[in-house]
Structure 1
Amino acid sequence: MPKAKFYKQIEEIAKVLKESGIELVLLPDKGVSFEVAKKYKELGGAQRVYATMPLSDTDFIISHLLKYLNAKASGKKIFDEIIDTQNWYKQDLTHCTYGDFTLMLGNSLGSLGEFAYGFYLYKIFKNSARRKKVHPEIRAGEKIPFSAIVYKPFIKEKLNYEIGAYIKKVGAEIYYAKSPIELKKIIKKLKEKAALSG
């Protein structure tokens, strides 16, 4: 994708997230999610942006994340709060479970691992109080079935058939957004479901 088109997509995604009034949760690191969060703040996104970070980790480093954690957009810090995931293993396992849905913006190895583990943990946590023992901030499945929104302009194909079937088997949902307009409609639908659940 040409650079100008890429950044136009970033801006459109950030605009949809801002207008939808949702909070963002991401690892503060180089990549598409960080660019979206930065643009979200530049556009005046008023909801909180959470950084998931393994602050207590002793096996690997987190120093490479600090420049992203402390970054600013339009004079404001991008990240409002940190969710300490304790260590990199737990970070990767739980990263996608801190929200009602996950917005899939790419297929890096890290993203795919986090995505798969998010739905695996959702299966384990479903109808269980164990999720809060793993981390008190985990929200996946509390109000609505945990959902994935696959953003098609950044992902060429549908999810692998077996992964998609597994996600549906555990009672989760998959949506495909071909444009920012479709993304906005899907988020609106998910927010309405959450509001109905109390």
Structure 2
Amino acid sequence: HLNQQSNIYIPTTDTKLVALILTEVLRDGFLFHLPWCDDFLEIIANDIKTSYSYLIDLLDKNLLNQYNEQLILNFLNDHKNSILFSRTLLISLLFKEIPFPCARITEKFSLIHYFSILIYRTTNYLIKFNEKKTPTWLTSAFIFIDLYEKISVASRRYSIINQNYRDYKRIWQWFDERTLQWYNYSEVHNK
């Protein structure tokens, strides 16, 4: 995942991994309750939480000290930043393809809560020391939160529509131009 020489994450690995996961999901068929898929997403969520805890501890240690440029650079260049970036990017890419399993795991592990705290604490830390450079994971975290919010709103709307119109049956019709009338499709085709 990391280029050994420059310590820069190569995102193409994530896109290839997502393509592989989607191939497996489509091969296995049922999209929403694949145990191995949930297990994989839980591993990603655990990696995110571990990186979060480490970075919060690092922030706490740095805030106890006076302004030290080396501490800020250590925080910004720490290996856990790269891990958090890669896992957040990976789950964001998966969110676009398999949104509901990702949303379920996000809720289960309270990832939005953790990201909110980490973003808040990191920005306060960087503002306090007037640092212009930002961590690598910051952009992917905002993308992840945005994707989660979109799925959350969409599922809420779908739930409301499903509740309000559960008893209604759709009757598809076709228009006959010769008689200028609408006709119902047969039950076999009315799906």
- Greater helix percent: which structure? 2
By relative contact order (CA 8 Å, sep 6+), the higher-ranking structure is 2
Which one has a bigger Cα radius of gyration?
Answer: 2
- Greater strand percent: which structure? 1
Return the TM-score normalized by structure 1. Answer: 0.26
